[in-house]
Chain A
Amino acid sequence: AQTVTQSQPEMSVQEAETVTLSCTYDTSENNYYLFWYKQPPSRQMILVIRQEAYKQQNATENRFSVNFQKAAKSFSLKISDSQLGDTAMYFCAFMMGGGSNYKLTFGKGTLLTVNP
């Protein structure tokens, strides 16, 4: 079974600064996908960024980028130029490829607070 570990229950950052959220996972699969989801106080789950394991290039989406280290099974999220609206719970998630690629396995989350 796959597991996802987020070792930082809470983090804080000053507005406009950069913060990195860590995530490690455990799997014996070679074909899989990794995601970061944001859950603001409204409770909606919002996809932030996605990475295919077969791609060596790290995914980026505007101020959000990942550092994907496949050998180390690490998938950290970097948020640049942090904004107050980035305050939320952030969940790292794993999905297998192939016929079972519909089930997400989530970590326990990191609560990020952006301070003015």
Chain B
Amino acid sequence: NAGVTQTPKFQVLKTGQSMTLQCAQDMNHNSMYWYRQDPGMGLRLIYYSASEGTTDKGEVPNGYNVSRLNKREFSLRLESAAPSQTSVYFCASSEGPPSGANVLTFGAGSRLTVL
């Protein structure tokens, strides 16, 4: 049971480089989310997707783009990485709509360092 799979687990970028974080879930969940976790800040929602083909901004969307490629996959792209985007990124999914009434299943995280 893979659940939510994130790749890569670790990445080091230079300022200005671009990269895409990949997320896939095999639970047939409808909703998917991207969070970032920073020391002393807790987890903050970047973007979410209620269904295939739809995406919406969360609390901290600036500097990021997302794609809900299909029901299984939700990618997060950094077009021009900045040191402020150094963080641990978590992908999550839930069966129902993103109303918060669902149990979220989280991936193991992707640790990104921007130099």
Are A and B physically bound partners?
Answer: no
What is the interface of chain A, defined by CB distance below 8 A to chain B? none
What is the interface of chain B, defined by CB distance below 8 A to chain A? none
